[in-house]
Amino acid sequence: SAVISQKPSRDICQRGTSLTIQCQVDSQVTMMFWYRQQPGQSLTLIATANQGSEATYESGFVIDKFPISRPNLTFSTLTVSNMSPEDSSIYLCSFGDTEAFFGQGTRLTVV
Amino acid sequence: QQPVQSPQAVILREGEDAVINCSSSKALYSVHWYRQKHGEAPVFLMILLKGGEQKGHEKISASFNEKKQQSSLYLTASQLSYSGTYFCGTEHLDGTSYGKLTFGQGTILTVHP
């Protein structure tokens, strides 16, 4: 099965700063997805990242806050911008249709 | 629309059985089941695509009803390793959400010796 690597695994950031999370897949995939999982909660889709076009954001998430890049079919980044404590969460990338493969997650704490 | 999972939590002794349900107000394209252990990423268990489908093996199996609005996950003769949070993830039939999952709120399963 494909391997998906996500980094950093965790970070503690100051409010007002930005963090970029990277996700690398060992094979080419058409769509990649970014999810947020708040402590003890379910996974919520932030956006779908398509190569060669702008990401598609779900309701409640905007590009200015969560800009996404998808420069090729194996790589994507999610930036959490102008962070506040409410952004403290686990962020996960994934790909796949009949089976979703998830990165290990990035545990973000904003202080 | 987020699917509704029940129960929210289950506590079992080793060897006992459990059923976790996942319901949607609209017909689904597919339903996925995942298990997540604390501090880890969700791990795929199975996907159901057809109404009336049942799949899996003796210990962990799932069903999808004919109307494709309700799925159940069956855990038989539970083992300690079954402990974790179980999520159903659903895909809808709107033609734009292929591969995009909406997750239920999760069911915390705890298996004791």
Mean pLDDT, residues A88-109 taken together: 93
Label residue A98 by pLDDT band (50, 70, 90). confident
Residues of B in contact with A90 (CB under 8 A): none
Give all domains of chain A, ordered by start, each with its CATH number. Answer: 4-110 (2.60.40.10)
In this prediction, the residues of chain B whose per-residue pLDDT falls under 70 are 93-97
Residue of A51, A97, A107 to mutate, testing the B interface (most B Cβ within 10 Å of its Cβ)? A97
8 Å CB contact between A22 and A92: no
Residue of A25, A36, A43 to mutate, testing the B interface (most B Cβ within 10 Å of its Cβ)? A43
Q: pLDDT per residue over A24-41, tens digit each?
A: 999 999 889 999 999 889
Domain boundaries, chain B: 4-112
8 Å CB contact between B28 and B93: yes
Q: Does domain B4-112 have CATH number 2.40.30.10?
A: no
